[in-house]
A = this chain, B = another copy of it.
């Protein structure tokens, strides 16, 4: 595991797999790479495909791409702010706008006019406007003779300052991202949109046809799409930055691109970290997730409304479980581990062969391994000192910290509370989305049981939270006397600041005040014992890699915008070959093959409407683009910069991709542009949207 950023208090949404991951591959496979737009793989593209993207091409694609902060990607597909993403990226919002009476997840949604478009409670979408290399500034903040802890502080303060200055100067969301193991720091500026309205979503049954069994597999038959419209000042935005919709889609052998936000990869973790992931971190994480799914499934059994509430979380957890299982299995494959080991051996041998390099970089591996071992001593506390099972309780803790942090100088605050981050943070904390207290109670009670079992009765967190009570008693008391479900209450706390928080008798605020010191102690311990050691060590590894292999490569994923490229192509699968494309024929084949039993049952619309669509229409397809979680909703683009597909998954063979790309069998799975048109027009009566994305009409 990348040993930073593993805290149970992680701020990123659970649906993407984020770590503070920074690395670079020494020798690239053919279609490998999640490239920054500042450093596109022009040489490889020219050599391999005879294609050179122009600066205009790159800018247009970048400005047409959108990051969904719920944990995915998307793209603009009309001049009137229409954004395409996956149904499963939209799932959280679909659930938040649904009610017990109207379930848009199950039934889908179509706005026949703009007036019917449905405002989302807490969705933020970012478009990357510009970027700037700030490596010299950030690294320059560290002065000779500083202790590790002081150096870390200085770096963090400088980053906060760069972000704040940019925000003040441009009004744009400004994030500094560490790339190439800290070999570079980049400032990314984003235009931020927070008024997103739902335009279209099909039934989850067809968006996620085949359910958990088919998830991460192929051949596939999923209409995993949703459309939002971006508003500003209560009007749709107008912009020339959108992708034209290809009428012809793609064909086997075509060069295609994916522009999106891969969440996190671990391509160049040291072998010590990889082995720790495989043997300790991933199995523990898997155990936690499996336990949580079990709680939610039990909760779902109470009735259809409970099932509706739990569906989105179950989806996300099962998704992660399948990933982690695949990763553990992949990391147990001797051939893969041997290949990774060889990469590291080669790298270290080259460093050791050069006396100057050896002196400067040679002990970085050892330091990382030591910090890894140190970090392992509090691994379980990092996992279980957590209130994340309850969003309400998590928000209470964030509010308690917010009011304390904002009073400090920006550079001294906890991560997540810097000036440049406050807007987005407040947007999340004040979300009007409905809370499901009964579900949260079930989850939190079980999480506390788990903490008790894993950490024991004498653990400070366990003692502080339970105060001698059972988890059930604790949770019951906690939810009896809280207003955290009410956004107005949260607002009053934020606005009331420290006095309001300090005097609050809300049970969740009280708990958060007790837990806050523990959280800070753990955070500081992580900084002092792990981050401050590994950050410079990784930086040296990053520099060593530049020295040894040059800079024509790509950094590990960081949920920032990247360009991947590849070929539409089948692959060897289970004794035969998987086809480049599937069609609507296959949807009916798979459904009938299971006698229409869930999760292979079809929405009634598909049963009745079979004769309205051309069954030969390409439905899903695969390509060799290098993607991972966070890329969901990314557009697949052809040479002409047109949209030919919509990424929604990787195949089962790609689950190891965070550790290693494998062109032979790893594939990105996408919805074909032709299928989206065919279904929207002929099954959903969404002809107006089709006209809009085909450039034939404006929205009504």
Interface residues of chain A, those whose CB is within 8 Å of chain B, are 210, 213-217, 219, 251-252, 322, 326, 570, 573-577, 579-583, 585-586, 588-590, 592-595, 600, 615-616, 618, 651-652
Contacts and interface: CB of A to CB of B under 8 A. Distances in A.
B593 A582 contact: yes
Nearest to A219: B593
Given A588-B616, A589-B589, A216 B583 contact: no
Nearest to A211: B576
Nearest to A572: B213
Contacts of A588: 583, 585, 615-616
Given A217-B576, A579-B600, A580-B595, 19 more contacts: A216-B575, A219-B589, A252-B594, A322-B575, A326-B575, A570-B593, A573-B574, A574-B652, A579-B593, A581-B592, A581-B593, A581-B595, A582-B593, A583-B592, A585-B588, A585-B592, A585-B615, A586-B590, A588-B616
A575 to B, nearest CB: 3
19 contacts: A213-B576, A214-B576, A252-B595, A322-B575, A570-B593, A570-B594, A575-B651, A576-B652, A579-B594, A581-B593, A581-B594, A582-B589, A585-B586, A585-B588, A585-B592, A585-B615, A586-B589, A592-B616, A592-B618
Nearest to A594: B579
Contacts of A600: 579
Given A216-B575, A590-B579, A251 B595 contact: yes
A589 B593 contact: no
Q: Determine which residue in A214, A252, A574, A576 has the highest number of CB atoms from chain B within 10 A of its CB, and name it.
A: A576
Nearest to A655: B575
A217 B581 contact: no
* Minimum-distance CB pairs A-B, first 9: A579-B593, A575-B652, A586-B589, A585-B589, A217-B576, A213-B576, A585-B588, A217-B575, A574-B574
A219 B216 CA distance: 18
A589 B583 contact: yes
Q: Identify the interface centre among A214, A215, A573, A575: most chain B CB within 10 Å of its CB.
A: A575
Nearest to A584: B589
Nearest to A651: B575
A690 to B, nearest CB: 22
Contact of A577 (B213, B219, B575, B651): B213
Question: Oligomeric state, in number of copies?
Answer: 2
A253 to B, nearest CB: 10
A577 B574 CA distance: 12
Most buried by B among A219, A570, A586, A616: A586
Given A217-B574, A574-B573, A586 B593 contact: yes
Contacts of A580: 593-595
A350 to B, nearest CB: 35
A334 to B, nearest CB: 11
A585 B593 CA distance: 10
Contacts of A616: 588, 592
Contacts of A215: 576
A583 B610 CA distance: 15
A583 B579 contact: no
Contacts of A592: 581, 583, 585, 616, 618
Contacts of A590: 579, 586
A616 B602 CA distance: 14
A587 to B, nearest CB: 8
A579 B582 CA distance: 16
Q: Quick one: which of A322, A573, A651 has the most chain B CB within 10 A?
A: A573
A600 B570 CA distance: 13
Contacts of A595: 251-252, 580-581
A576 B616 CA distance: 24
Of A214, A215, A595, the most chain B CB neighbours within 10 A belong to A595
A144 to B, nearest CB: 53
A296 to B, nearest CB: 22
Contacts of A326: 575
Nearest to A616: B592
Contacts of A573: 574
Nearest to A600: B579
A575 B583 CA distance: 21
Contacts of A219: 589, 593
A340 to B, nearest CB: 22
A580 B600 CA distance: 12
A459 to B, nearest CB: 38
A457 B197 CA distance: 83
Contacts of A585: 585-586, 588-589, 592, 615
A616 B600 CA distance: 15
Contacts of A213: 576-577
A651 B215 CA distance: 22
Contacts of A210: 576
A74 B583 CA distance: 35
Nearest to A573: B574
Nearest to A575: B652
Output the residue of A215, A219, A600 with the most chain B CB within 10 A.
A219
Nearest to A570: B594
A98 to B, nearest CB: 28
Contacts of A579: 590, 593-594, 600
A252 B252 CA distance: 35
Nearest to A619: B589
Contacts of A577: 213
Contacts of A594: 252, 570, 579-581
A279 B616 CA distance: 47
A678 to B, nearest CB: 14
Nearest to A595: B252
Most interface-central of A215, A585, A593, A618 (chain B CB within 10 A): A593
Contacts of A574: 217, 573-574, 652
A349 B589 CA distance: 51
Contacts of A576: 210, 213-215, 217, 652
A326 B575 CA distance: 9
A573 B210 CA distance: 13
A600 to B, nearest CB: 8
